[in-house]
């Protein structure tokens, strides 16, 4: 009798496992179908320039808006944009208030414990803008690690730590506002400022007689992906396929929004 009971026990365990796994499998198979049957892709995002912002007519524009709009179009549905506070955007995704986060969210281990990410579709990082008056003759990066060089940054952000690690001999002045940190360099009171891109690029474009970019690349790099609820392998596969097929388009749109100011007249100044 013991072998029979053991077989029955194993069979019951397998049956329970199959029942337990069924909802996850169904969810994996049906999320994209749900989007298509609804006729809308619901996208969560937060307002950051130039990721997503209001134009002069009050409409949403920006890199992430372009991405979300094209993704929806290629899926054959409308896009429903759902602006959400950044500190609540992951809980809102998990609570099914929208289908996907397309909002410049960096892929980090802590976030991966809560949600899944697609393959990267964009990147960002810490960049530098330097004073033409003070730093034009300095060789990058060696001459910047000197007691005679002064960097500025906004207090409490990653950029300050990057300067302390990469240029320990330099003087670091910290301010409570990014604009003040940049203005000190524009005024010739400091050699360079570090901040999250695209701010260094934008300030340089707006002040070409005062600023330049000494580093060809960002000092740090992070990659962004679409955020998706866990257990949606099918939607991840569809989104990853879309990202792979649109790499050139994504690069072109990213350059437009992050490396130029051609869009500046679209938004209130």
pTM given for the model: 0.84
pLDDT in tens, 236-260: 999 999 999 999 999 999 999 999 9
- Domain locations along the chain: 11-123+222-266, 126-212
Compute φ and ψ for 207, nearest 5 degrees.
-130, 60
Domain at 126-212, CATH homologous superfamily: Periplasmic binding protein-like II (3.40.190.10)
CA distance linking residue 267 with residue 184, whole number of Å: 26
Per cent of the chain over pLDDT 70 is: 89
Compute φ and ψ for 23, nearest 5 degrees.
-60, -40
> Quick check: helix, strand or coil at residue 76?
coil
CB-CB contact of 249 with 115 (8 Å): no
Find the range with the poorest average confidence among 4-18, 36-50, 176-190, 221-235: 4-18
Q: Is there a common fold for 11-123+222-266 and 126-212?
A: yes
Count of Cβ atoms closer than 10 Å to residue 64 Cβ: 29
Task: Tell me the CATH architecture of domain 11-123+222-266.
Answer: 3-Layer(aba) Sandwich (3.40)
Compute φ and ψ for 134, nearest 5 degrees.
-100, -30
């Amino acid at each position: 009798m013991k072998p029979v009971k053991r077989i029955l026990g194993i069979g019951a365990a397998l049956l329970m496992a199959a029942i337990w796994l069924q909802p996850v499998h169904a969810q994996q198979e049906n999320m994209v179908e749900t989007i298509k049957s609804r006729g809308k892709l619901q996208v969560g995002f937060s307002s950051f320039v130039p990721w997503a912002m209001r134009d002069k007519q009050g409409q949403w524009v920006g890199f992430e808006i372009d991405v979300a709009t094209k993704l929806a179009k290629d899926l054959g549905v409308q896009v429903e944009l759902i602006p959400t506070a950044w500190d609540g955007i992951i809980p809102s995704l998990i609570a099914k208030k929208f289908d996907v986060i397309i909002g410049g969210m960096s892929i980090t281990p802590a976030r991966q414990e809560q949600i899944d990410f697609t393959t990267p579709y964009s990147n960002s990082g810490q960049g530098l803008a330097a004073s033409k008056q003070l730093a034009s003759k300095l060789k990058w990066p060696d001459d910047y690690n000197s007691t005679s060089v002064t960097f500025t940054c906004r207090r409490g952000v990653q950029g300050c730590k990057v300067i302390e690690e990469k240029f320990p001999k330099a003087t670091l002045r910290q301010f409570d506002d990014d604009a003040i940190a940049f203005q000190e360099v524009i005024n010739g009171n400091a050699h360079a400022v570090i901040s999250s891109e695209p701010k260094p690029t934008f300030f340089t474009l707006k002040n070409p007689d005062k600023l330049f970019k000494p580093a060809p690349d960002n000092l740090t790099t992070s990659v962004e992906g679409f955020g998706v609820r866990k257990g949606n392998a099918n939607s991840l596969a569809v989104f990853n396929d879309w990202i792979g097929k649109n790499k050139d388009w994504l690069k072109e749109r990213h350059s437009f929004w992050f490396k130029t100011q051609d869009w500046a007249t679209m938004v209130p100044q």
